[in-house]
Amino acid sequence: MEDKRTIDVLKARLEAENHRKLIRVDNPELHQFIAKYVELCNPDKVFVCTDSPEDIRYIRQEAIRTGEENELAMEGHTVHFDGYYDQARDKKNTKFLLPPGVDLGSDINAMDRAEGLKEIHDILIDIMQGHQLYVLFFCLGPLNSEFSIPAVQLTDSCYVAHSENLLYRQGYEEFVRLGQSAQFFKFVHSAGELDARMTSSNIDKRRVYIDLEDETVYSVNTQYGGNTIGLKKLAMRPAIKRASKEGWLTEHMFIMGVHGPSKCVTYFAGAFPSLCGKTSTSMIKGETIVGDDIAYLRKKDGVIRAVNPERGIFGIIQGVNSRDDHIIWKALHSPGEVIFSNVLVTEEKGVHWIGKDGEYPEKGFHHSGEWQHGKKDEKGNEILPSHPNARFTLDMKRLENVDPELDNPEGVAIGGIIYGGRDSDTKVPVEESFDWVHGVITMGAALESETTAATLGKEGVRKINLMSNLDFLSIPIGKYIENHLNFGEELKNPPRIFSVNYFLRDVDGNFTNDKNDKAVWLKWMELRSHREVEAIKTPAGLMPKYEDLKRLFREVLNKDYPEKDYIKQFTLRVAENLARVERVEEFYKTKVPDTPHILFRVLEEQRQRLNHAREKYGDYVSPLKLPVLV
């Protein structure tokens, strides 16, 4: 039953056409939510976006008209600039709002719910005055699927609205279909006061708060997509909690199809922290992509199946080039909708970024304003041609390798799970766990990586980032690990779990991997998922045999693979592995009081195996000395 106040507010504040669009959705909770924030934020206008091409086109045109985006020379391409100090996820001011008695652990940023709601609602008072509010409806996952979650976004940024229209499946008709049964996520965003360059001014009041009780995310005084595109990483928090309650998983994972012998396609899900090769792995030439970032996983008929809640890519552009990233490169150089952010715009209205083919232009325009070689910031640091966290946004259907199962409401069957991070001295390029529990603990829960420019703070610090999901957890860490252990428990043949490391260095500091070698590691994992090749048993896991990799390098990359390279890459570094066990153990002993006991038992077993290998072989063990496991 609609309350009178909600009815009166919506009639008074929405023009007739937008009011008609909204009330077509029979959901009093939705109407009350929208009315509340229309009154509080006080926008000049309210636009309700349906799934129609006209509505979607209007938002893109508004982004250009207002200057939040500027058109480039290539048809359909636009560029957006965030503020100079608004270029990454603000981990410090991203907090869970928790009621008394709820504790997610010391490593998870949280504050009192009542205090946080009061603060954020005080900031929101009249914050949209002079702006237009966009009401958008989306579906996280394929339409009409048990995997999916409906979501409503309120934002006064047409850049955010335009980005989400590229990244997510339109959900207006899904809301109409579901009516009052829709259990939807809610997102409230305002860029706040804008400066002359149409970037957020009040960065000191930047806040990103997640209210798990009400499944609502608030984001204010910021435009950077990681803080504002609510359905992306922000939506993961309430989704992780809902998944935990209902017995499924929300993961920071790509989903891709790896094509094996006889045209067999095996689907893999993979978790990597930012700038660790996640998107480039999911985009390997010859394979197909279902998603590059987030996955919902459910058990169905004894099989793990997964969907991508997104339909687009908000990808890091640094390093994208024509040789290594042919498919993305082609999409970024073809007519059609692409939003570039925080790249360099040339005088010809082209774009340039760090790692792009060719020489840097002498001058241009980007997030710092007018730019030329040698420009420095107020601290005397050189300003690069593009920000290290510069991005591109596009619909995946523009990619030639998009998998035909992208929108399958039943998802895809997962044959393998991959964990990868930045590790210069310990992990081999690819290895397989002994079993599900060993993989969850030593490859997932023990995932380490060096920090990157994707988050604010110092780069190059090695940190535990379990399942590459630590920043997004909305349940205690111990509970999250238990969920993973239990998830594979009842499966007769759970997916194989693997780890990869593209950043291993030799004694001279050089990378032991070529960027394209990951294509070979994928093919080996595909073969192992069906037990079509043997493996070498080490104290830390199962590694490839030289003969198999030599054949795969020739078949996949048409190049030789010398035995000396194999030995350099796959030598077991015993001392480094033991140090890693110590670091992981220390993290869980000191920071995670609810750690499942089995984690310490599995780590201790790994330590004992490593010590035994050290006694027998020394600190560095050639893979040629280790036994082969059928």
The set of catalytic residues is: 276
Contact 371, 360 (CB under 8 A): no
The amino acid that residue 398 corresponds to is R
DSSP conformation class of 381? P
* CA–CA dist 326, 323 (Å, integer): 6
The amino acid that residue 208 corresponds to is V
CA 339 centroid distance within chain: 18
Separation in Å, CA 423 to CA 66, 256, 336, 469 = 44, 23, 37, 17
Euclidean distance between the first and final Cα of the chain, in Å?
Answer: 65
SS3 368: coil
DSSP per residue over 94-132, as a string?
A: EEEEE-TT----TTS-EEEHHHHHHHHHHHHTTTTTTSE
Contact 471, 88 (CB under 8 A): no
What is the dihedral sign for C-alpha 378, 383, 389, 391? positive
Q: How many CB atoms lie within 10 A of CB 432?
A: 23
DSSP conformation class of 35? H
Residues contacting 72, CB < 8 A, separation 6+: 78, 79, 340, 345, 349, 350, 351
Least Cα distance to 250 among 265, 263, 234, 262 occurs for 234
Least Cα distance to 175 among 230, 135, 220, 133 occurs for 135
Least Cα distance to 419 among 373, 468, 375 occurs for 468
* CA–CA dist 312, 315 (Å, integer): 9
For 56, list phi and psi in degrees, rounded to 5: -65, -40
Strand ranges inside 489-529, DSSP E: 496-500
Contact 376, 382 (CB under 8 A): yes
Contact 34, 154 (CB under 8 A): yes
Contact 225, 163 (CB under 8 A): yes
The amino acid that residue 333 corresponds to is H
